[in-house]
């Protein structure tokens, strides 16, 4: 079977009324990404994106712009009249394929291997409809699958609200993932009706409809019931999020990463961490962050879209955004690296130092209480405590260049644009407003005046009054 023969439809048009949110359900995030992005990612491991059709409706343009870069197709279901109606809306596109899969945009834990399993079973059985089922500990809220005796043939799917008392003990649920054979489906889909508590066209009703037509409707059980969990409420979404992050942590631990108290860490799906890295409790690693071998990220650090080299120490309480830290560097505690910070090999960036759009060269140190922005700092530089690059004149930003081997005395202010030549010394508390040539000393501060006995005299005068 060529991939052209198989498509995947992802239903993502619903509003998600139960979330009580202005945002459409499928754009709510779990594991650091919108729900629907996870489903697309798994689908795209099975078929090329041009064979994926995302059915959008509520806030369609926002959904389209959130996931459009994946290269999938979109089908607009302008009015959302149920899951059956969603597939009717996409009939023109889907009927081009002999078989296709339907996934729910709100069930993000689905894995590519399970999608392949449904597809292969469906083709092998030559079924009209194949339903992925599961037996979770609590089936409440899900549609239930009624089998024909103890076979793997399905008689019908009954939604929670329509369950008859004698059906309420059925523990097998409909996951909302299906495979269909186009011909029998589209020959019968117009027969769906809306005589149900929601007044919607239910795709689930196709099971009984196809059976009545003498078609084969099959069930295939998910190995892990958690994989099909959907999120209809914020509480359910947060439990999906916890589930997904634990899955991520487990997979990293399997690759040799030590994660203490993994239940307290927030690690996004796309984050990569090398073996022998250590992640302490209450760390967040977000976006496309990469952490190298042997590095240790200490508690309460939040690192987003950044590259951390090998054997780096991130001490507690650091915030790092869109930055890179080279091998062997030490940052923190409480460093704030804003976007475009580039910390060189073995450099130290210490307590309460804020950086932005800057480079700190190999082995350089800025250990205490500084602001370093729009700066190019060479190798072997010592930036004293309290140093500030004054990069902003109220209108424009200007650059500070500090060449290799410079010693910047504590409490210096460097008014940019300014350049300090290699090997130069800046006296403490200098306000540097002009370039300093290499290997020279610059002092720019008031000259100390000492008046001996002045304080004592003043006290004595006070007592006489």
Q: Using the rule CB under 6 A, is 52 a contact of ligand UD1?
A: no
Strand order in the sheet with 365-368: 258-259, 278-279, 296-297, 313-314, 330-331, 348-351, 365-368, 382-383, 407-408, 425-426, 441-442
Q: Which is nearer to ligand UD1, 25 or 119 (CB)?
A: 25
Please say whether the beta carbons of 301 and 321 come within 8 A: no
Quick one: 106 or 241, whose CB is closer to ligand UD1?
A: 106
434 Cβ contact list (under 8 Å, min separation 6): 418
Should residue 230 be labelled a site residue for Ca ion when binding is judged by CB under 5 A?
yes
413 token code pair:
């202010």
Element housing 160 (H / E) = none
Taking the least distance from each CB to ligand UD1, the nearer of 79 and 166 is: 79
- Is there binding between residue 292 and ligand UD1 (CB under 6 A)? no
Strand partners for 145: 157
Number of Cβ within a 10 Å radius of residue 357: 19
Residue 169 burial class via C-beta count within 10 angstroms: exposed 0-12, middle 13-18, buried 19 and up: exposed
Instruction: Find the Cα–Cα–Cα–Cα dihedral 315, 319, 324, 327, rounded to 10°.
Output: 0
104 binds ligand UD1, rule: CB under 6 A? yes
Which of 230/409 has CB closer to Ca ion?
230
- Active site residue ranges: 368
Sole window of 5-13, 115-123, 250-258, 396-404 interacting with ligand UD1 (rule: CB under 6 A): 5-13
Contacted by 77, from Ca ion, ligand UD1, none: CB < 5 to 8 Å by type: ligand UD1
Which entry of Ca ion, ligand UD1, none binds 312, CB below 5 to 8 A by partner kind? Answer: none
Asked if 240 and 108 touch (Cβ cutoff 8 Å), the reply is yes
Q: Is 202 in the site for ligand UD1 (CB under 6 A)?
A: yes
**Binding residues for ligand UD1, how many (CB under 6 A)?**
32
- Note whether 106 binds ligand UD1 by CB under 6 A: yes
Q: In the range 20-49, which residues lie near ligand UD1 by CB under 6 A? A: 25-26
Note whether 272 and 295 are within 8 A (CB): no
- Contact with ligand UD1 (CB under 6 A) among 42, 51, 83, 307: 83
Q: What are phi and psi of 407, to 5 degrees?
A: -110, 115
Residues 203-232 that bind ligand UD1 (CB under 6 A): 203-204, 230, 232
DSSP letter at 207?
H
Adjacent-strand bridge partners of 368? 351
Q: Is 200 in the site for Ca ion (CB under 5 A)?
A: no
Q: Which is nearer to ligand UD1, 192 or 420 (CB)?
A: 192
Q: What value, to the nearest 5°, has the Cα angle with vertex 210 and ends 208 and 216?
A: 105
Q: How far apart are the first and last CA of the chain?
A: 106
**Residue 99 near residue 181, CB atoms below 8 Å:** yes
Nearest-approach distance from CB 21 to Ca ion, in angstroms: 14
| Of the candidate residues 6, 8, 9, 14, the single one contacting ligand UD1 (CB under 6 A) | 14
Among 6, 47, 53, 106, binds Ca ion (CB under 5 A): 106
Q: Nearest distance from residue 231's CB to ligand UD1, in Å?
A: 9
Where along the sequence are the contacts to Ca ion (CB under 5 A)?
106, 230, 232
Where along the sequence are the contacts to ligand UD1 (CB under 6 A)?
11-14, 25-26, 55, 57, 77, 80-83, 85-86, 104-107, 142-143, 157, 159, 173-176, 202-204, 230, 232
């Amino acid at each position: 079977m060529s991939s052209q023969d198989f498509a995947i439809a992802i239903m993502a048009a619903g509003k998600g009324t139960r979330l009580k949110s202005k945002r459409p359900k499928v754009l709510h995030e779990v594991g650091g990404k919108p729900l629907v992005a996870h489903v697309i990612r798994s689908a795209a491991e099975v078929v090329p994106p041009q064979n994926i059709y995302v059915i959008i409706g509520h806030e369609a343009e926002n959904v389209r712009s959130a996931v459009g870069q994946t290269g999938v197709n979109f089908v607009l279901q302008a009015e959302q009249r149920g899951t059956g109606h969603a597939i009717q809306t996409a009939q023109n596109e889907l009927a081009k394929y002999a078989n296709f899969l339907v996934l729910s945009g709100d069930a993000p834990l689905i894995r590519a291997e399970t999608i392949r399993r449904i597809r292969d079973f469906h083709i092998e059985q030559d079924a009209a409809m194949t339903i992925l089922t599961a037996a979770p500990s609590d089936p409440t809220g899900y549609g239930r699958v009624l089998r024909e005796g103890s076979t793997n043939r399905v008689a019908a799917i009954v939604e929670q609200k329509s369950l008859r008392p004698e059906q309420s003990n059925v523990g097998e649920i409909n996951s909302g993932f299906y495979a269909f054979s186009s011909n029998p489906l589209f020959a019968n889909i117009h027969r769906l009706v809306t005589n149900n508590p929601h007044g919607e066209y239910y795709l689930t009703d196709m099971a009984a409809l196809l059976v009545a037509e003498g078609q084969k409707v099959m069930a295939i059980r998910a190995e892990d019931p958690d994989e099909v969990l959907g999120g209809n409420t914020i509480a359910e979404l947060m439990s999906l999020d916890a589930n997904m992050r634990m899955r991520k942590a487990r997979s990293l631990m399997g690759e040799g990463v030590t994660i203490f108290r993994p239940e307290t860490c927030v690690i996004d799906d796309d984050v990569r961490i090398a073996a022998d890295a250590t992640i302490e409790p209450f760390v967040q690693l977000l976006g496309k962050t990469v952490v190298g071998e042997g590095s240790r990220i200490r508690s309460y650090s939040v690192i987003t879209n950044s590259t951390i080299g090998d054997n780096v120490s991130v001490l507690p309480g650091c915030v790092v955004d869109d930055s890179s830290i080279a091998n062997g560097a030490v940052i923190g505690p409480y460093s704030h690296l804003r976007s475009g910070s580039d910390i060189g090999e073995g450099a130290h960036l210490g307590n309460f130092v804020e950086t932005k759009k800057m480079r700190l060269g190999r082995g350089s140190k800025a250990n205490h209480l500084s602001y370093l922005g729009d700066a190019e700092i060479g190798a072997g530089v010592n930036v004293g405590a309290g140093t500030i690059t004054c990069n902003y004149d109220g209108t424009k930003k200007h650059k500070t260049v500090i060449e290799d081997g410079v010693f910047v005395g504590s409490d210096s202010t460097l008014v940019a644009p300014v350049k300090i030549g290699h090997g130069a010394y800046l006296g403490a508390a200098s306000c540097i407003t002009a370039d300093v040539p290499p290997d020279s000393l610059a002092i720019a501060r008031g000259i100390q005046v000492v008046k001996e006995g002045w304080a004592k005299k003043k006290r004595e005068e006070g007592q006489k009054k």
